[in-house]
Chains A and B, each alone.
Chain A
Amino acid sequence: MVRVDGRGQSSSLIQVRGLDKKYQRGSEEIHVLQGLNLDVEKGEFIAFMGPSGSGKTTLLNLLGGLDVPSAGTVTVAGDEITHMSRSVLTQWRARHVGFVFQMYNLIPVLTAYQNVELPLLLTKLSKTQRREHVETALNVVGLPDRMHHYPRQLSGGQEQRVAIARAIVSDPTFLLCDEPTGDLDRKSADEIMNLIEELVKQHGKTVLMVTHDPVVAQRAGTTLHLEKGALVGSTRGEEVTAGGRR
């Protein structure tokens, strides 16, 4: 069960404590996140909603080890990532995080197969083993017949499926999805959400997703609302203290 009061169990998959993020813009200091707490259990599907500038993407970046906080800690599966060096963090991301971006961010000169294979090239898997993993991932997202297509030969929905296959191919600890349906029409968005739900329900994946779309957010088990860098409420009744602070 998701907790945002900082009193979650130490066995939680993701533990966030007192997370702060400030940016300096000229002489002005901008507080993007303020003393945020969060506990996420394995297999949960959480959506973050909030107005632009509320800190959703910053939170996702911090959880994924793409950015470092100004204060506070993020612990994932027992690893405290906030004090890891850049190179260690890179290796950690390869093992634990699958990213899905709004703009898919596939490499246009690589086929769907090669895009999905990218994270596996960093492992010690043989070519045959990599092939098995890639084919499995493409089967899960329903694109086994498009593996030799280039991104330009795919629809937006199909590109996002390939991006999801790339995110899951190395079986990461959790998935971070930043507006995964933001660039898709409703039908394609539904298909992508069905796929993400399937990953959670059938494959036991933990998914943290940022979205602006309430329809999409409804598909998540829990929706947390962010405003001015603080968690201000939850759709599924979890207790959220003011500003997310204890």
Chain B
Amino acid sequence: MKFRGLMYANLFRKKTRLILIVGCFASALFLFGVLAVVKKAFSGGVEIAGADRLLIINRTSIIQPLPLSYRERILKIPGVKQITYANWFGGVYQDERNFFPQIAVDVENERTVYPEIVVPDNQWQTFLKDRPGAIAGAATAKRFGWKVGDHIPIKGTFIPGVWDFNLDGIYHGSQKDFDETQFLFHWDYFEEKVPERFKGKVGWYVIRIANPEDAVRIIKAIDDEFSNSPYETRTDTEKSFAAGWVKQFGNIEFLVLTIGGVVFFTLLLVAGNTMAIAVRERTAEMAVLKAVGYSDRFVMLMVLLESLTIAAVGGIVGVALAKALTLLGNPLPNVLPMFYLPSMAVLSGLGIAVAIGAVSGIIPAVGAMRLRVVDALRRV
């Protein structure tokens, strides 16, 4: 690349300006990366929610229970393949700030309905036989430094007393976005210790259906089955339920898009202005290049390549910083169940950076291309 020296010299002619503009790109892309991480943390559950899974809760609110006796009636509805149920525990481990979801689950059917839960067989078998046993998600186990065999005391909140659990296993998600923060234990153990008024009640049911296209009919059939009863149901797809859960925090996607849009638009103006100034300062040099035989196209590409290089380097630095931040660990495990930069966000971030580089460089580049040697030299 015999023009490398010329390109390199042009890029580095004003080092402070170069550092500042690369810094602008890096900051914007870093922010984009962090927003993508947050967005993913909130929407990850929605994206991987099974299309064949339906969630059944009390029509009044999720905090109101449903009778366990509904299980058999739900299973009889045509199209329902499998069912499991669970209760929210909501205990405190050491300190109230150490939040993670603790859920009493129907251990016999949990993994049939949630095949994403991956646990070594020996750990799962131990768990099945151990009534006060528990399985923790890898993220939570890592967060508190738990190992299989540890005793985990959790203080009940709405159910008083300290519950001592044996950590029998650690699960991973079969997909990257699967929530690895949950702490699962035996529903039977829960049922055994809860006060009389909670007995025979579950927090929610999750069913798998044979054909996702049948979902609307099955939802109606379930809700009709329990209408006009003391415990009416509200059935929804898991995806819709997860989306509704995310919406409780506000319209995260809109927020991310708005902030990202404003940042990138500002970056476009800054980069465009910088490139325009950089080219204007070199009017005479470009005229000389053309005088000695460099084509209009060469001069245009030179300016454009300069702009694209700045954008790409800034973009890579910004995305790398965002990636590095995720590698440091989740700073808000109570709020964000997952904390990683999705590959798609890396690619789209770099794509946006390069696009801004192209847009901000194209006007000065075309100006440089159209520059007439005679006019340019007269201006000097």
Could you list which residues of chain A lie within 8 angstroms of chain B, going by C-beta atoms?
61, 64, 66-67, 86-87, 90-91, 93-95, 99, 101, 103, 105, 107-110, 114, 118-119, 121-122, 127, 166
Find chain B residues with CB under 8 A from A66 CB: 291, 373-374, 377
Q: Do B377 and A90 have beta carbons less than 8 Å apart?
A: no
**B5 contacts which of A105, A114, A122 (Cβ < 8 Å)?**
A114
Find chain B residues with CB under 8 A from A61 CB: 373-374
Nearest A residue to B284 via CB reads A105
Nearest A residue to B288 via CB reads A105
Find chain A residues with CB under 8 A from B290 CB: 90
Q: CA A4 – CA B161 in complex, angstroms?
A: 113
Find chain A residues with CB under 8 A from B373 CB: 61, 66-67
Q: Do B374 and A94 have beta carbons less than 8 Å apart?
A: no
Most buried by A among B13, B290, B293, B374: B293
- The reply on B249 being an interface residue by CB < 8 A is no
- The reply on B3 being an interface residue by CB < 8 A is yes
Secondary structure at the A interface, as helix, strand, loop or mixed, is helix
Find chain A residues with CB under 8 A from B285 CB: 105, 107
**B291 contacts which of A93, A107, A122 (Cβ < 8 Å)?**
A93
Q: Do B288 and A87 have beta carbons less than 8 Å apart?
A: no
Question: Given that A109-B13, A114-B9 are known contacts, is A119 also in contact with B295, CB under 8 Å in the complex?
Answer: no
Secondary structure at the B interface, as helix, strand, loop or mixed, is helix
Q: Do A94 and B292 have beta carbons less than 8 Å apart?
A: yes
How many residues from B make CB contacts under 8 Å with A?
26
Question: Given that A66-B373, A109-B10 are known contacts, is A91 also in contact with B293, CB under 8 Å in the complex?
Answer: yes
* Closest Cβ–Cβ distance, residue B310 to chain A (whole Å): 16
Q: Do B293 and A90 have beta carbons less than 8 Å apart?
A: yes
The interface bits of chain B over 359-373 (1 if a CB of A lies within 8 angstroms of the residue's CB, else 0) are 000000000000011
- The reply on B265 being an interface residue by CB < 8 A is no
Question: Given that A87-B296, A101-B377, A121-B3 are known contacts, is A109 also in contact with B12, CB under 8 Å in the complex?
Answer: yes
**A110 contacts which of B9, B287, B296, B377 (Cβ < 8 Å)?**
B9
* Closest Cβ–Cβ distance, residue A55 to chain B (whole Å): 13
Q: CA A87 – CA B285 in complex, angstroms?
A: 19
Q: CA A157 – CA B380 in complex, angstroms?
A: 19
- The reply on B6 being an interface residue by CB < 8 A is yes
**A122 contacts which of B9, B293, B297, B374 (Cβ < 8 Å)?**
B293
Question: Given that A110-B5, A110-B6, A114-B5 are known contacts, is A103 also in contact with B380, CB under 8 Å in the complex?
Answer: yes
* Closest Cβ–Cβ distance, residue A191 to chain B (whole Å): 22
Find chain A residues with CB under 8 A from B256 CB: none
Find chain B residues with CB under 8 A from A122 CB: 292-294
Q: Do B9 and A119 have beta carbons less than 8 Å apart?
A: no
